[in-house]
Amino acid sequence: MSIQNHLEIAVKKAFVEIFETEIPAVEFQATRKEFDGDITIVVFAFLRFVKGNPVQIGTQIGEYLKTNVDLVTDFNVVKGFLNISINPSFFVDSFYGIYETENYGTLPPAPTEKAVMVEYSSPNTNKPLHLGHVRNNLLGFSVAEIIAASGKKVYKTQIINDRGIHICKSMLAWQKFGNGETPENTGLKGDKLVGNYYVAFDKAYKEEINNLIAQGRTEEEAKKQAPILLEAQEMLRKWEAGDEEVVNLWKTMNQWVYDGFAVSYKNLGVEFDKNYYESETYLLGKDCVQDGLEKGVFYKKEDGSVWIDLTDEGLDEKLVLRGDGTSVYITQDLGTAIQRFQEFDINALTYTVGNEQDYHFKVLFLILKKLGFSWAENMYHLSYGMVDLPTGKMKSREGTVVDADDLMEEMVNTAREISQELGKLEGYSEEKKEELYKIIGMGALKYYILKVDPKKRILFDPKESIDFNGNTGPFIQYTYARIQSILRKADFDYTAKQNVEISDKELAVIKTLQLYPETVQLAAKNHSPALIANYTYDLVKEYNSFYQSSYILGCEEEALKVFRTQLSAQVGDTIKSAFKLLGIEVPERM
């Protein structure tokens, strides 16, 4: 039984005996470092059941616990917080509860719980993935893993924006300037090849605009009348009409892109259970608009367009269907959301999309609630800030995007340079070295991005992220590898439970280990990989403090040597578990 369970039973008993009342639950917190104690009870939460001074109530409960509960050695009260000191021997028992628990901190899917869907990535098929997609994919994948670890079944999905004028721009430019180029005959990844033609279109478009302005057109006229744009618009009309030649070109070029994306996703370490394609979903949602009109949720204007008035909710009026019967983005999103809840046994859906779409998702969720879908309460927008590099912002049309593949390659190269400078890889084969460079480089990239609260903007510095000291992925990976080295050298049986007296350093490590299950649950609730990342760093700091002040394998007392080896093993397992939730590998040697 955990410390919290022991204390909760005792506190409930104390309330019956002292105040002659029952309380439903006890709220615990970790004791703040500036106060004495190992665990804190929030006394303010009891004021609904017992009237009085919180300090006096806390003192009465503290005295009861100290007198009647063996594991409590002392207490102090600070305002409405009761700080409890626990007998260190109980922490040893608590540690063995952790040590003997398989997959400590994570839970299998509960059979009674409905599943959750997490959408992320959602790229366009006219260009490669870029730095923004890297943050999106890492966040979405990690949040899905964390929710799964909290005890729910999770489906990972993306919607691929594979239709529209931007796709036709790449197709038209390839027709005009491509000279039959393919990924096979150029050696280029398919998404990069197609992206080059998106840039080529923009270059030709700008030249035509300048020519038209020189002929006396206004800039606005020139932008609308540029021949290459008119051709792209005609190509889109042909696609929508099912023109065989255009559709075949669209299928061919999209497949090039999908093949390229597959390589990027594999290198990034993310995957999906289901892909949706906008070409298959863009007509969805019209039925629910009709349904909303009949329910009085939507209204029709004179031009035939359909709207919803959200001004009473502090939002605007929103168009949901054009006068000519064609859909807008919100129409598709309404239809796609409804389809997903029909296809899968889910009751929650998380969208991983940048913060520039905050308003869109407020409107989407509110419309679904007004349409009467109860699951709309469980929809969540995992909103995140931009990622910048020290060199500045990205512009995709000009071809100055920070390419995801290039960034990943740079991270691996940086890991290679730093590892070679440190010179700790003697005896490694070249294959093993390259594998390690990838683990370190990708771990650095993922950790640097995921340790930041999703809502915050990031300035990503590749060199800083790969530092082997401080709050970085490689620093934590190095601690894991050090622990594995200790375990390989342990030439004795360290499976049996020991009866030992522990130091403050060991106590601090155990107390941090105890926080892992609740950190997983909190991270799932808050959709925040940053909580897992920073927990792992805290654990590693406490372990390294213990490691530097204590003999482990060199400890002369046999029982203590075994216990410290067990403690090291558990820290290693917890690092590996936490990093798996972040999509980060840990190396056995470093």
* 135-176 pLDDT per residue, tens: 999 999 999 999 999 999 999 999 999 999 999 999 999 999
Q: Output 536 or 327, whichever has higher pLDDT.
A: 536
**Do residues 408 and 268 make contact, with C-beta atoms less than 8 angstroms apart?**
yes
* Residue 241 located in a structural domain: yes
| Burial of 100: CB neighbours in 10 Å, binned 0-12, 13-18, 19+ | exposed
How far, in Å, CA of 483 to CA of 504, rounded? 20
On the question of pLDDT at 225 being above 80, the answer is yes
On the question of pLDDT at 57 being above 50, the answer is yes
Task: Tell me the one-letter amino acid at 53.
Answer: N
Closest CA to 307 of 295, 298, 296: 298
Same domain flag for 82 and 176 = no
Same domain flag for 205 and 82 = no
Same domain flag for 419 and 557 = yes
* Residue 129 located in a structural domain: no
C-alpha separations of 392 from 73, 110, 128, 130 in Å: 57, 46, 19, 14
Same domain flag for 436 and 571 = yes
Same domain flag for 538 and 448 = yes
Same domain flag for 53 and 192 = no
- Residues linked to residue 276 through DSSP beta bridges, in sequence order: 159
H-state helical runs in 71-189: 88-99, 131-149, 165-177, 183-186
How far, in Å, CA of 150 to CA of 517, rounded? 8
Of 373-382, 465-474, 484-493, 561-570, the poorest mean pLDDT is in 465-474
How far, in Å, CA of 190 to CA of 192, rounded? 5
pLDDT tier at 395 (50, 70, 90 boundaries)? Answer: very low
CA 66 to mean position of chain CA atoms:
43
Give pLDDT, residue 387: 87
On the question of pLDDT at 90 being above 80, the answer is yes
On the question of pLDDT at 391 being above 70, the answer is no
DSSP H or E run through 228:
helix 227-240
Question: What is the mean pLDDT of the segment spanning 110-128?
Answer: 94
Same domain flag for 79 and 221 = no
* Residue 143 located in a structural domain: no
Same domain flag for 414 and 509 = yes
Rg (CA), the chain: 29
* Residue 31 located in a structural domain: yes
On the question of pLDDT at 247 being above 70, the answer is yes
**Do residues 80 and 39 make contact, with C-beta atoms less than 8 angstroms apart?**
no
- pLDDT, tens digit, 9 for 90 and up, residues 308-359: 999 999 999 999 999 998 889 999 999 999 999 999 999 999 999 999 999 9
Of 250, 274, 298, which marks where a domain is finished? 274
**Do residues 448 and 472 make contact, with C-beta atoms less than 8 angstroms apart?**
yes
Decide: helix, strand or coil at residue 214: helix
Give pLDDT, residue 393: 47
What total of structural domains would you count in the chain? Answer: 3
Other Cβ atoms closer than 10 A to 3: 21
How far, in Å, CA of 342 to CA of 337, rounded? 9
pLDDT tier at 397 (50, 70, 90 boundaries)? Answer: very low
pLDDT tier at 17 (50, 70, 90 boundaries)? Answer: very high
Tell me the CATH number at 30. Answer: 3.30.1360.70
* Residue 390 located in a structural domain: no
How far, in Å, CA of 71 to CA of 7, rounded? 9
| Burial of 339: CB neighbours in 10 Å, binned 0-12, 13-18, 19+ | middle
Mean pLDDT score of the chain: 94
Q: Residue 447 belongs to what domain range?
A: 404-582
**Do residues 449 and 408 make contact, with C-beta atoms less than 8 angstroms apart?**
no
Tell me the CATH number at 564. Answer: 1.10.730.10
Task: Tell me the one-letter amino acid at 46.
Answer: F
First to last CA, the chain: 37
* Residue 423 located in a structural domain: yes
Of 64, 86, 108, which marks where a domain is finished? 86
Closest CA to 27 of 42, 39, 8: 42
* Residue 159 located in a structural domain: no
Of 185-194, 197-206, 463-472, the poorest mean pLDDT is in 463-472
β strands within 43-80, DSSP E: 72-78
Same domain flag for 80 and 202 = no
**Do residues 305 and 322 make contact, with C-beta atoms less than 8 angstroms apart?**
yes
* Residue 478 located in a structural domain: yes
C-alpha separations of 32 from 75, 89, 258, 579 in Å: 14, 21, 50, 26
On the question of pLDDT at 455 being above 90, the answer is yes
- pLDDT, tens digit, 9 for 90 and up, residues 209-220: 999 999 999 999
H-state helical runs in 241-392: 244-268, 278-281, 286-295, 329-343, 358-370
On the question of pLDDT at 527 being above 60, the answer is yes
CA dihedral angle for residue 71, residue 73, residue 79, residue 80, rounded to 10 degrees: 10
Same domain flag for 80 and 168 = no
Of 86, 117, 143, which marks where a domain is finished? 86
Give pLDDT, residue 1: 67
